Amino acid sequence: MWGWFGGGAAAKKDAPKKAILQLRGQLEMLSKREKHLQNQMDEQDNLARKYVNSNKNAAKAALRRKKQFEHTLDQTRGQIMTLESEIYSIEAANINKETLDAMKNASSAMKQIHGGLTIDKVDQTMEELREQHAIGEEIGEAITQSIGNSAFDETELDDELEALQQEELDNKMLGTGAVPADKIQRLPTAPEGVKAGKAPVHAEEEDEEEELRKLQAEMAM
């Protein structure tokens, strides 16, 4: 009945620990037996040495008992090695089982997480995200344009700016007494071929003739 309420699973889970505890208890008992047999062997060896010259029969009997203890000691040591190997194997197997159980739990958790996910759903979600990002970019650009751009006519603004500049220039001219540039009459340009500071060649000849006539007139007087 206990197994119906999960007791069987708990007992199964604790089985490796229980087996290890039992093996360690047996190993402790065998270790004590090993020590006892070793003491018995040493005692019989001492008796054989004691009677080796005085009582050969007693010495042989001691050696015979020593051999028996030695044989039992070898068996005990073999059992100890076997138990130690079994304990190591159970511990390793238990670690492997617990590791595998942990991996199974991780696999189940991942299956549960990915249970509602498919490649198509992931692609659809990513596409929706890209669309929303694009919409956000368009909204941001629209807001920026609505704030940065005005509804005024650029040509009208340029004309008004030019009028302000002309008004500022006129005020400066009135303040300094200078005549605006558009009021200044331009001087006639010099004829082609005439260099600045020099008269044409035929003009110089006419001047010379004029001076010559003046001299002639003075001499005639």
Query: Can you tell me the distance from the alpha carbon of 30 to that of 71, in angstroms, rounded to the nearest whole number?
Result: 14
Residue 5 has pLDDT above 50, yes or no: no
Average pLDDT of the segment spanning 202-217: 69
Query: Can you tell me the distance from the alpha carbon of 24 to that of 86, in angstroms, rounded to the nearest whole number?
Result: 10
**CA neighbor of 79 nearest in space, from 17, 16, 28:** 28
Average pLDDT of the segment spanning 18-23: 90
**Residue 64 forms part of a structural domain:** yes
Average pLDDT of the segment spanning 29-53: 94
> What CATH number should be reported for the domain holding residue 99?
1.10.287.1060
Q: So what's the pLDDT on residue 9?
A: 66
Residue 1 has pLDDT above 80, yes or no: no
The answer to whether residues 114 and 54 touch, using CB atoms and an 8 Å cutoff, is no
User: Could you tell me which residues come within 8 angstroms of residue 4 by beta carbon, excluding any fewer than 6 positions away?
Assistant: none
**Residue 144 forms part of a structural domain:** no
Q: So what's the pLDDT on residue 33?
A: 96
Q: So what's the pLDDT on residue 4?
A: 44
**Residue 56 forms part of a structural domain:** yes
Query: Can you tell me the distance from the alpha carbon of 48 to that of 55, in angstroms, rounded to the nearest whole number?
Result: 9
**Residue 192 forms part of a structural domain:** no
Residue with tokens 């941001």: 140
Percentage of residues in the chain with pLDDT exceeding 70? 73
Domain that holds residue 63: 14-115
Higher pLDDT, 154 or 212: 154
Would you state the structure tokens that stand for residue 209, as one six-digit string? 């003739």
Q: So what's the pLDDT on residue 181?
A: 52
Q: What is the DSSP letter of 183?
A: G
Residue 35 has pLDDT above 60, yes or no: yes
Percentage of residues in the chain with pLDDT exceeding 90? 37
Residue 79 has pLDDT above 50, yes or no: yes
- Give the pLDDT band of residue 12 (cuts 50, 70, 90): confident
Over residues 152-208, the pLDDT tens digits come to 567 887 788 788 888 888 888 887 655 555 554 444 555 554 444 444 556 667 777
Over residues 110-132, the pLDDT tens digits come to 888 888 778 888 888 899 999 99
Q: How many domains does the chain have?
A: 1
Average pLDDT of the segment spanning 61-65: 93
**Residue 203 forms part of a structural domain:** no
Over residues 89-112, the pLDDT tens digits come to 999 998 998 899 999 999 888 888
Q: So what's the pLDDT on residue 43?
A: 95
**Residue 59 forms part of a structural domain:** yes
Higher pLDDT, 29 or 153: 29
3-state secondary structure of 161: helix
**Residue 31 forms part of a structural domain:** yes
For the chain, give the mean pLDDT. Answer: 80
**Residue 105 forms part of a structural domain:** yes
